[in-house]
Amino acid sequence: MLLIRHLVLPVHRTVPWGQVGAAGAVGLLLAALTRTGESAERLSLYLLRAAILVFALGLAFLLDDPARHTTATVPTRRPVRLALRVALAVPAAAAWWLVALLLVPPDVRPPVADLTLEAGAAFVLAVAGGAAVVRFSELTRPGRSLAAGLLTTSVLAMLFWPGRWALFVPVEDERWGAAHDRWAVLLAVAVILGALCTVEPLRRRVRP
């Protein structure tokens, strides 16, 4: 416990708060757009989803750590360090999400619990993706390519995701419930994937 307390400050200093904060600000801007008029209110679900995507893009930078190669040998293992980093980000993400929800007028706010599930899945997916890149590559800053990949994937998914396993459904759609079961599965898969990827590999793959 003492170790964790000593680690909090150094880890906090390596977290790219600037990127996460900038993404959060843009996300809140999108959420605030729902207060700009009649047509904006009809778009509230889509604006909130866009805000979620934007903040997830910011979280893709969470595991950027220029010092990762120098800290690979410290006694505290990587799962602990990454968990600490994520634990620092969780309150920030929760606060951000609360503010984003409060920015949407209450009468046009989509079902909060279900949308929180979507947000959670997107955020965890972004961080798990970062963990996967860190686990399988030597990159110190995976954020940039991860954000591009996340964005491309989400645009393609919105365009071409098969209707049978619909994820992005409007509120009045009858598949809303089933879609959120799928979101829960996605969240679980992302959590497991992220947890598996935090382990420091025993051997470093040497590039020829």
Partner 1 sequence: MTALTTEPAVSATRQEPGGPWKAVFALALFESRRLLTRVPVLMAFAVYIGWTVWRGGKEGDGFPALQDVDRATQGAPMLIGLAVLLSVNHAAVRSQRHGTEQLLTVLVLPLWRRTVAHALSVVAAALLTAVCVAAQFGREALRPGAVGHGSVGELLVGPLTVLLFGLFGLLVAGLVRSALVAPLLVVLLLFLFVFFSGLGYEARWLLPAVEDATPNTLPSDLLGRPAAWHALYLTGLALTLGLLAVLLAGGRRPAVFAGVAGALAMTLTGGVAQSAGDSPELLRARERATVHPEQVQSCVRRDGSTYCAFPEWGPRVADWAGVVNRVRSLAGGDAHEQDIVVRQRIEARYGLDGDSALTPLERPHQVTVGTRWGGNRVPEFSAAVAGVLIAGDEKAATSICDGRIIPLMWLAVGWESDPLDALRRVRLNDTLTGSDSVLQPTDGLYMTEAHTEVLRALLDLPRGEAGARVKDRWDELTAPKVTAARAAGLLGLPAPEGDDKCS
Cα–Cα distance for residue pair 60/144, rounded to 1 Å: 8
- Site size toward partner 1 (CB under 8 A) is 30
Lookup: tokens for 120? 């959670």
What is the smallest separation between the CB atom of 200 and partner 1, expressed in angstroms?
25
Under DSSP, the state recorded for 201 is P
What string marks each residue from 48 to 87 as x (binds partner 1 by CB under 8 A) or -? --x--xx--xx--x--------------------------
User: Could you give the residue ranges of the DSSP H alpha helices within the chain?
Assistant: 2-14, 17-32, 38-42, 44-59, 78-103, 112-136, 143-160, 176-197
- Per the rule left: phi > 0, alpha: psi between -120 and 50, beta: everything else, 55 is alpha
Among 7, 28, 32, 43, the residue binding partner 1 under the rule CB under 8 A is 43
What is the smallest separation between the CB atom of 18 and partner 1, expressed in angstroms?
8
Q: Is 148 in the site for partner 1 (CB under 8 A)?
A: yes
Residues forming contacts to partner 1 in the complex (CB under 8 A) are: 19, 22-23, 26, 30, 33, 39-40, 43, 46-47, 50, 53-54, 57-58, 61, 141, 143-144, 147-152, 155-156, 159-160
